[in-house]
Amino acid sequence: MGVHIGIACAGLHAGVLIETLELTGTSAITLFDDAAGQEGSFRFGRTIAGTLADLDTWARDGRIQAAMIGTANVRRLDVRRRVHDQLRRLGLELAMAIHPTAFVSPSATIGGGSFVGPMAVVHTRSHVGRNVCIYSGSTVDHDNRIGDDVFLGPGVHAAGEVTIESGTYIGPGAIVTSGCRIGRDSIIGAGAVVLSDIPPRSVAFGTPAVVAKSVDDWIAGR
């Protein structure tokens, strides 16, 4: 009997996870979401069986053995981190979804709950934390350190010896040059070129990337 995976939050990213898991031979997948009125409905060909509280019950009953998180929107990264913490408290194994066309070096490590998309690369001696998304065509080159809860959009390229601290979002097509460090909980705009370190909780964009505001100002709409 295979592992039954519960996906917490039925956002668009959940559909990406389901397709990737199916391509790698996992078919026992059930969705859970807190949005009102969704219980019993279908999304991405799967039943939404209940709320995240119901996922707790299914886990305690042994009906689900592993979980992933099905939301990845930049404005819901706090939700993604909170649900990640909840799943870990439950003691659930965090499953991984690695697309068959991705390349992961045998000397690289990837934490539970992470997604590696089509044609993505995690190269030699790189360490990727838990609950990380590496989207289509992105490359994490040699000796990178990627923290927990990081999101790399499509076509992001991190050169050698890059550090991306936890909770950071990097938009599509951004480039992080060798040796740079991006501080935790930062947002890097699409197409940015990071040539120097970025402080924590910063919003940076442009070529070269410069800090435009704090994440707190961005959240407040300032």
Same domain membership, residue 62 and residue 129: no
Is the previous residue joined to 208 through a cis bond, with omega within 30 degrees of 0? Answer: yes
pLDDT of 1 higher than 70 = no
**What's the pLDDT tens digit per position in 126-179?**
999 999 999 999 999 999 999 999 999 999 999 999 999 999 999 999 999 999
CA angle 131–95–105, rounded 5-degree value: 75
Q: How many residues does the chain have?
A: 222
Phi, psi of 173 (to 5 degrees): 75, 5
Beta bridge partners of 31: 7, 48
Same domain membership, residue 162 and residue 124: yes
Can you say whether residue 189 is alpha, beta or left, with left for phi > 0 and alpha for psi between -120 and 50 degrees? beta
Phi, psi of 55 (to 5 degrees): -60, -40
The boundaries of the domain holding residue 65 are 5-95
Same domain membership, residue 123 and residue 207: yes
Same domain membership, residue 88 and residue 152: no
Same domain membership, residue 126 and residue 87: no
The conformation of residue 12, written as its DSSP 8-state character, comes to H
Q: Would you please indicate which residues are annotated as catalytic (active-site) residues?
A: 142
- pTM attached to this predicted model: 0.93
Does residue 81 contact residue 97 with C-beta atoms inside 8 Å? no
- Dist CA 191 CA 51 (whole Å): 37
**Least trusted range by pLDDT, from 6-20, 71-85, 206-220:** 71-85
**What's the pLDDT tens digit per position in 32-80?**
998 867 777 889 999 899 998 898 889 888 899 899 999 988 877 788 8
Same domain membership, residue 193 and residue 102: yes
Same domain membership, residue 91 and residue 10: yes
CA distances from 173 to 139, 163, 190, 205 (A): 11, 17, 6, 12
Q: End of a domain among 52, 72, 95?
A: 95
Same domain membership, residue 115 and residue 30: no
Q: Does residue 219 belong to any structural domain of this protein?
A: no
Give the whole-number percent of the chain exceeding pLDDT 90.
73
Q: What CATH number does residue 140 fall under?
A: 2.160.10.10
User: Binning pLDDT at 50, 70 and 90, where does residue 91 land?
Assistant: confident
Same domain membership, residue 197 and residue 110: yes
CA distances from 96 to 89, 111, 197 (A): 18, 8, 30
110 vs 83, which has greater pLDDT?
A: 110
Looking at the 3D structure of the chain, how many domains does it have? 2
- Dist CA 180 CA 153 (whole Å): 18
Residue by residue, DSSP assigns 154-216 as TT-EE-TT-EE-TT-EE-TT-EE-TT-EE-TT-EE-TT-EE-S-B-TTEEEETTTTEEEEEHH
Q: End of a domain among 66, 95, 124?
A: 95
